[in-house]
Amino acid sequence: MSDRPNILFITSDQQHWDTLGATNPEISTPHLDRLASEGMRCHRAYCPNPTCTPSRSSMITGLYPSDHGAWSLGTKLMEDVPTVGDALGRAGYRTSLVGKAHFQPLQETDRYRSLESYPILQDLDFWRQFNEPFYGFDTVRLARNHADEAHVGQHYAIWMEDNGCHNWRDYYRPPTGTNDRQKHRWEIPEKYHYNAWIAEESQRLLDTYAAGDEPFFMWSSFFDPHPPYLAPDPWHAMYDPADLTLPQIVEGEHDVNPLHFRMTQEKEPDFSAWRESGFGIHGMHSHLHGADEMRQNMAVYYGMISLMDEYIGRILTHLEKTGLAKNTLVVFTTDHGHLFGQHGMTAKGPFHYEDLVKLPFLVRWPNRVQAGSQSDAILSLVDMAPSFLGAAGLSADWGISGADQTPVWTGTVEAVRDHAIVENRHEPTTIHTRTFVDQTHKLTVHYGRDEGELFDLQQDPQEIDNHWSDPGWADLKAELTRRLLHAELGKEPLVMPRIAGA
């Protein structure tokens, strides 16, 4: 086996930063807690966009969504954008992705082909024969659905059939409606759950890598705890809703917030003006729900995380069993956060609260990262590609915006960046947002609108008091705006060096 480190990248989907047992005594995640105790827990990790496609594309490219092009849900990361898998593959790494990709939309046009769209999504004969490189991964095992969504298919459906579950469609919502009989308790047996599939495929690949001489980069990409809130027996009932602390809105906190924040607290808000392209935007609806429903959803959300933790544990245990663990960098994080009552909101949307943009983040690297260490250094998911390359002794051969975080992880330096930027763009004008976060404050500006957010994260970590329009904060607002402008200029990628005077 090569002396170069293996890289195991494990991600969840839409997981709130404070849903690890290591930080929250109300939830049980023993395997992730062990990973934290054997490595470093990073407290200031941020996504570059609080939705899936943009953030996931940034993970593998080292570019912000405005640079790699997959700027919103429903867009596509073009296949010619360089990725970390491409670079590692050229350096002799074997590369693989198991689970959720979401680099392409569910529909395609003549101009924009999508392998994650209908009808090819459920053409199992196609996926049985599929062996093409996919965004720098030489081996992929893919699926697209969240819980019982109809968008199931690809390699996951093949695995279910190969394991005797020929009636797998019975456990999924039909394309034309909702399977109302499944609420909180998912009828699918745990042995056919996608967590079991991801763990089994990951373990199989680890066996293959253990038998070879090349280092590997493997991304095990889990789907949970992304809604719908569903888990099989016994996980859906693991937590008593009455035992959980339900976040609450603070009366009046949205009075000085942008209009679309306030509208979420109406029973029947009219967000039609936000549908310029004809497509809706996550979060642009009423967020009013009864407390009992919110508690039950939260309990199942926690159960989904604990179920996922069980299968992450199986992957980590198998990594040790194969003898690969001692030379493997393991990183765990998620693509973006989740709201389950904070600020009176649920799920996700164009609201850049810490609940949505800050992430759980763990890194273990035997003999390189100090066990039980913690870091307050700011990092971003755009740092994943340059950090994985840095761990392998490589650097990106394309223009990137991310920074190599391995010196922070190994204790060489305290920080490699002093800010994070979060982008959010859905429609041409109605949602076009930038957030600048440093060690103490957060500023969010909205293109074409004289409204925004300015929070003191030290004195007001819950982000209740928005100082955007406060005259006493005008100087700080101007300074943060200047720093945001400079950060925007600084993150522009240079595709090639200058090689001539003219």
The pLDDT of residue 494: 85
Extract the tokens encoding 360: 């759980």
What is the C-alpha separation between 199 and 154, in angstroms, rounded?
Answer: 16
Contact assessment for residue 375 and residue 408, using Cβ atoms and an 8 Å cutoff? yes
Residues in the chain: 502
The pLDDT of residue 59: 98
Mean pLDDT of successive 10-residue stretches along the chain, which has 502 residues: 87 98 97 98 98 97 96 95 97 98 93 93 96 96 94 97 95 69 92 98 98 96 97 97 96 96 97 89 95 96 98 98 98 98 96 98 98 98 98 94 97 98 90 97 95 97 98 98 97 88 92
| Residue pointed to by tokens 């996700």 | 348
CATH no., domain 6-242+290-414: 3.40.720.10
What is the C-alpha separation between 382 and 389, in angstroms, rounded?
Answer: 12
The pLDDT of residue 198: 98
The pLDDT of residue 315: 98
E strand or H helix at 384: helix 384-391
The pLDDT of residue 421: 98
DSSP code string of 284-318:
-S-----HHHHHHHHHHHHHHHHHHHHHHHHHHHH
The pLDDT of residue 174: 72
Distances (CA, A) of 461 to 78, 184, 208, 361, 465: 38, 31, 46, 19, 10
Domain boundaries, the chain: 6-242+290-414
The pLDDT of residue 180: 67
The pLDDT of residue 179: 60
The pLDDT of residue 278: 86
